Amino acid sequence: LTVDPGGQDKNWTGWVGFIPEVLTQLKPSPENAVSILCGPPAMIKFGLVPLSGSGFAAHQIMISLEKKIKCGVGKCGRCNVGRLHVCEQGPIFSYEQLRELPDEY
């Protein structure tokens, strides 16, 4: 658990910093573990770097894309990420699934 710099109060004893920095310092073990990323696309993108660096395989990293859902029933097309429909096939995908998509997604 971490807070952004300046977001801590005098009683805070947890990490301070952005997720990629904290993950780089923490070096979580991929042994019998799964990592779950959710949040803004930039945080997900930069969070993947230290997780991959710590040895997490693509199938051990799960990413939530629920932010892209609008109708939620497969009718509006708002949730398309490449060939995937987030509302019907997600909203949780493995990095293994998403890294096969073109970079623009």
List residues binding ligand FES (CB under 6 A).
69-72, 74-79, 85, 87
Alpha helical stretches, state H, the chain:
19-26, 41-53, 86-89, 95-98
> What gap in Å lies between CA 8 and CA 16, rounded to an integer?
7
Q: In this complex, which beta carbon is closest to ligand FES, that of residue 20 or of residue 72?
A: 72
Decide if 12 contacts 3 (C-beta within 8 A): yes
Nearest distance from C-beta of residue 93 to ligand FES, angstroms? 14
Q: Cβ neighbours of residue 40 under 8 Å, at least 6 residues apart?
A: none
Nearest distance from C-beta of residue 73 to ligand FES, angstroms? 7
Q: In this complex, which beta carbon is closest to ligand FES, that of residue 39 or of residue 74?
A: 74
Nearest distance from C-beta of residue 85 to ligand FES, angstroms? 5
Q: In this complex, which beta carbon is closest to ligand FES, that of residue 4 or of residue 88?
A: 88
Q: In this complex, which beta carbon is closest to ligand FES, that of residue 37 or of residue 79?
A: 79
Decide if 69 contacts 91 (C-beta within 8 A): yes
